[in-house]
Amino acid sequence: MNLAVVAVDVALMLVATVVLMLLLGALSRRLLGVRMSAGRIILAGVLGLAAGVGFESQFIWRATEYTPAMIPVLFGIIVLVAITVLVVAELLIPQGTLPRPDQWAHLIRAAFDRNTRYLELLRIAARHRLFTIRLGPGSTAAAADRRAQAEALKRALEEAGGAFVKLGQLLSTRPDVLPAEFLDALAMLQQHVPPVPWDDIRPELERSLGGPPGEVFSAFSEEPFAAASIGQVHAAVLQSGERVAVKVRRPGIVPLIERDMDIAARLARRLARSADWAARFGIEQLVDSLIASLRDELDYTQEAANILALTEAQDHVPAEARVRIPRFIAEFSSDRVLVMEYITGETLSSMTALSSVDDQARHRLAQRLLAATLAQIMEAGVFHSDLHPGNIVIADGALVLLDFGSIGRIDSETRSRLGELLFAFSRRDATEFTEALFMFVDLSDVQDELGLRRAVAAFMSRRLGPGARLDASMFSQVMSILADYGLTVPAELTVPFRTIATVEGSLQHLDPTFDFVAEAKKYAQQRVTEATRPSSITKAITDELLSAMPIVKRLPQRIDRVTGNLADGRFGMNVRLFADARDRSFVREIISLAVVSFLAGIFGIMAAMLLTSDTGPQLTETLTLFQIFGYLFLVVAGVLTLRALFDVLRRRPSGSR
């Protein structure tokens, strides 16, 4: 073969490769269902070109006779190799998992910091003997052992600091996951951190305010009066003379918290894959929800939104259930600084907060606190979810709430179900309580539903029977029973009841003689009484009629259509199979896979038959036209086989989890 022919052939192959890259970019999503990046397409095209050059050097350039009929075969080899590269690359390293080169330095540094933190956490866990702790609610350890283990976990989290203290505090609100001893210990988690020096906190404040604090405030205390792991609070005075509290996020705290949250998420994923108990408890989803709550606390704009939500919620509760929510100054607030009304008073956790309050006043404050909590949950649907004594202030004889980093929200349907649960609780009706409780969980995957019902009913009969002492902790014990049967209790149930359990501690702090159940029963009865008033019934009927009005307007037309079909003898029923889009998608994928596999087999058989055939027009001494078609069919069969294998192997991990 002369050099001119080789040059023309190489030029044609280069053109074919460029065309192939364009076709791969346009057809990769159609062929594999994945949009490939330009880098992968170029790599696949280059390797396909290299395979084409190798094929040419062995079978074309050395041939004594040249035929243009080999060009389609050459192009087919380039396509087959390129598609193979794309399939293998996507299966081994899915797109998005390999970072760009410009990100490598940052990721290497982050991995080094994360591994250093891993070693530190392992040393802390080993020092406090956490590897022998079983956190599941079904633990058979003695109560004394569980208390010792819970205290060890608390000390370890405090020593770990960072996000782990906050995650532990949030975990204390999940009685469906941890035994009562761990909940009590984690609820007392505190992080003793020194305040950030003024020279370090001032730049953070100036960036948020847009200038020196002296231009915004007429006075500013450089010494904070409160400090925590995420931020610290300074006293200040606005130019108008109003006293305010300025909450400033610690400089550099976000990357540290993000690192710890990343570690927690990675550990949860590993546990979910390696431990059956972790998968049953849904530990990955649990940690994700805790991280989402913690991420909200990092952003003070979210806390400001929570303040607005609770302030508006006061308009939806009775006057006797209203509490004071501090006002925040939006003009000077941002994601890292929150300027709020300064509250003069002492928190319930202070030793002297109740020294000057008589018994009757303490009882009235306890009644208001419980009424406010229940009204926020049951009527407004927006409630403060962390009402421990440190977040409640007595100011001028009124209750003021603090720290709005975490609030709960529930919809009207959930509030209605909670009302049924609370009403059954107040009536000591174990059967109704059990049925109302099961409305919150999915019993379809429970293997022993009868045993679960008996366990819950027996427990509630003991706790709700005559002479039994009732308290909010019983909800934690019920959720532990549900967890023993592999049920993950939704947050819309656990958060309100953990909030009630937390409030009970504050109520006992206010008034040690306060009867939680009796007061809750009064609230439930009052709610039922209000619901049966003529005005409430009229409003409920009006709301239902308004919601049903569109249906009523369409009803005459539909009745006329049905009666007309009956009169004409054309009445029938139309049932649509695979009405669910997920069912249609599944069937479509199965049919597509079957068709592709069938076609791959057909083309493979045809290729084998043509390649072994000696008939057909002779193109060269050793090659016929039918063999050329056989090579092309073999390429098509290979591409279709790759497509089928790609679909099967890519879906296997998700289907096996």
| Cα 215 to Cα 628: distance, rounded to the nearest angstrom | 84
452: left (phi over 0), alpha (psi -120 to 50) or beta: alpha
pLDDT tens track for 269-296: 888 777 766 666 667 777 887 788 788 8
Mean pLDDT of 442-469: 75
The two three-digit tokens of residue 546, written as one number:
């308004």
Q: What is the pLDDT, as a whole number, of residue 654? A: 41
Instruction: Give residue 137's pLDDT band: very low, low, confident or very high (50, 70, 90).
Output: very low
Three-class secondary structure assignment of 102-163: HHHHHHHHHHHHHHHHHHHHHHHHHHCCHHHCCCCCCCCCCHHHHHHHHHHHHHHHHHHCCH
Mean pLDDT of 232-261: 91
CA triple 354-307-356, angle to 5 deg: 10
Q: Return the minimum-mean-pLDDT range out of 139-148, 342-351, 510-519.
A: 139-148
Q: What is the pLDDT, as a whole number, of residue 338? A: 93
Q: What is the pLDDT, as a whole number, of residue 656? A: 40
The two three-digit tokens of residue 394, written as one number:
């007595």
DSSP 320: G
Task: Give the chain's mean pLDDT.
Answer: 78
The two three-digit tokens of residue 181, written as one number:
């001893």
| Cα 621 to Cα 170: distance, rounded to the nearest angstrom | 80
Q: What is the pLDDT, as a whole number, of residue 138? A: 46
Half-sphere exposure of 501 (CA within 13 A, CB side): 20
Q: How many CB atoms lie within 10 A of CB 358?
A: 9
Bridge partner list, 392: 401
3-class DSSP state of 425: helix
Bridge partner list, 399: 394
Alpha helix (H) residue ranges in 612-624? none
3-class DSSP state of 486: coil
Characterize 582-609 residue by residue with b for buried, 16 or more Cβ atoms within 10 angstroms of its Cβ, and e for exposed: eeeeeeeeeeeeeebbebbeebbebbee
pLDDT tens track for 37-81: 777 777 877 787 788 777 766 666 555 555 676 777 777 887 788
Q: How many CB atoms lie within 10 A of CB 567?
A: 9
Share of the chain above pLDDT 90, in %: 10
CA triple 391-396-401, angle to 5 deg: 20
The two three-digit tokens of residue 348, written as one number:
């319930």
Q: What is the pLDDT, as a whole number, of residue 648? A: 80
Mean pLDDT of 152-171: 81
Q: What is the pLDDT, as a whole number, of residue 78? A: 77
One-letter identity of residue 499: T
Closest CA to 507 of 310, 408, 377, 364: 364
Closest CA to 371 of 475, 497, 521, 511: 521
Q: Which one has a higher pLDDT value, 570 or 339?
A: 339
The two three-digit tokens of residue 195, written as one number:
């305040």
Q: Which one has a higher pLDDT value, 450 or 430?
A: 450
Q: With a cut of 60, say whether residue 1 has pLDDT above it.
A: no
One-letter identity of residue 563: T
pLDDT tens track for 595-652: 888 988 998 899 888 888 877 777 777 777 888 888 888 888 888 888 888 888 775 4
pLDDT tens track for 397-435: 889 998 887 788 888 888 888 888 777 776 777 778 778
Overall size of the chain counted in residues: 657
pLDDT tens track for 474-524: 766 777 777 777 776 776 777 787 788 778 878 888 888 888 777 877 777
Q: What is the pLDDT, as a whole number, of residue 290? A: 75
Three-class secondary structure assignment of 19-46: HHHHHHHHHHHHHHCCCCCHHHHHHHHH
Q: What is the pLDDT, as a whole number, of residue 236? A: 94
Q: What is the pLDDT, as a whole number, of residue 235? A: 94
**What global pTM score does this model have?**
0.64
Q: What is the pLDDT, as a whole number, of residue 96? A: 66
Q: What is the pLDDT, as a whole number, of residue 530? A: 66
pLDDT tens track for 199-246: 999 999 999 988 889 888 999 999 998 887 788 899 999 999 999 999
Q: Residue 407 in contact with residue 384, Cβ under 8 Å?
A: yes
The two three-digit tokens of residue 589, written as one number:
């994928």
Q: Which one has a higher pLDDT value, 230 or 466?
A: 230
One-letter identity of residue 417: R
